[in-house]
Amino acid sequence: MKEKENQLELDQDGRTEEEFLARYDVDDYERPSVTNDILIFATEDLKEENVRKIPRKGLQVLLIKRTEHPCINQYGIPGGFIAMDESLGEGAYRKMREETGIEDLYIEQLYTFGEVDRDPRTRVVTVSNMALVPKKELLRKGYGQYESTWFWVEKKEVRKEKTEHEFIKQYELCLESEDQSIRMIYEVTERIEKTSLRKKSVSYQLSEKSNAKLAFDHEQIIDYGIERLRNKVEYTPIAVYFLPKLFTVKELQYVYEAILGKEVLNFRRKIGSMIVETDEKIEGRPYRPAQMFRFNEEWEHEF
């Protein structure tokens, strides 16, 4: 039996693994470059005419201005090439720290983007990641070596129709800088086949209403991140990442509505035991003191 096991360890050329590796030439195959991109989402208060009301919230994404070719002077998602001696996770945290000055955030891997011509330099595969942050805490940490700007981001449906073979939905993906000087709007068309597999194709077109464009294919990555947020907020407590440890029910509701892009009715009943009341009350604000809540660490989602 032992002799048979030893024979199985040899390849078709009669080599052991050690002999194979000793002669292996990494140049036998072309190798793509790999990058990490990190979507950093936050929510921010919208301006209210009535200062005595708890303000609604909007979704924001942090973008950096590129200082070199390709896509020089265009805004894009923080990220960059990973090193050969680091894991994907280590590379993501390093690039986030170098380009934004931010560290110690929870990062979740999203999706891998690998279209052949997505980067004019060479064949580049990008692993996208997502981080959710309370913006007020983030601002105290400062930013890194690049010019960083918060952009309001919103995805809204503008049209839908059905044909014999597919569902068609059209959206506007809108990004606008906080000072309103930069506006990027993409027309997004989703086509979903009427089959059990529900195969989906998505196309993007920069709108004439824009005065700038995103670097590379970053509109696709941002769009994917928004869809992931909208899906996960339905069954996980992901929304609480946008808030401090103590928050009001209204603040949490407005985070949900900023993510989903629509009003949420019967909100307190829908979240059930996901949050628990504390003895704290919100003070020092122009509106009436409100009871504070926190995330219930014992909460479990039930399908």
Give the mean model confidence (pLDDT) for residues 134-152.
Answer: 72
Q: Which of 5-19, 32-46, 123-137, 192-206 has the lowest mean pLDDT?
A: 5-19
254-267: b or e for each residue (b if 16 or more CB lie within 10 Å)? Answer: bbbbbbbeeeeeee
Mean pLDDT of the 236-255 span: 93
Share above pLDDT 70 across residues of the chain, in percent, rounded to a whole number? 91
Which one is predicted more confidently, 90 or 139?
90
CB 287 within 8 A of CB 53: yes
> Domains (ranges, CATH) in the chain?
33-232 (3.90.79.10), 244-295 (1.10.10.10)
Contact 220, 202 (CB under 8 A): yes
State the burial class of residue 286 (Cβ atoms within 10 Å of its Cβ: 0-12, 13-18, 19+): exposed
Q: Are 298 and 255 in contact (CB under 8 A)?
A: no
- Residue 3 confidence (pLDDT) above 60: no
For residue 139, pLDDT beyond 60: no
Structure confidence at residue 147 (pLDDT): 83
Least Cα distance to 102 among 58, 146, 59 occurs for: 146
Is pLDDT at 144 greater than 70 in this prediction? no
Q: How confident is the model at residue 134 (pLDDT cuts 50, 70, 90)?
A: confident
Strand 183-193 to strand 291-295: parallel, antiparallel, or no bridges (unpaired)?
Answer: unpaired
- Work out the mean pLDDT of the chain and round it to a whole number: 90
- pTM of structure: 0.90
Which residues, 6+ apart, have CB-to-CB distance to 234 below 8 Å?
none
Task: Give residue 90's identity as a one-letter amino acid code.
Answer: E
Q: Does residue 204 carry a pLDDT above 90?
A: yes
Task: Give mean pLDDT, residues 109-134.
Answer: 94
Mean pLDDT of 260-269: 94
What one-letter code names the amino acid at 118?
Answer: R
More confident residue, 216 or 49: 216
Q: Tell me, what's the pLDDT at 135?
A: 81
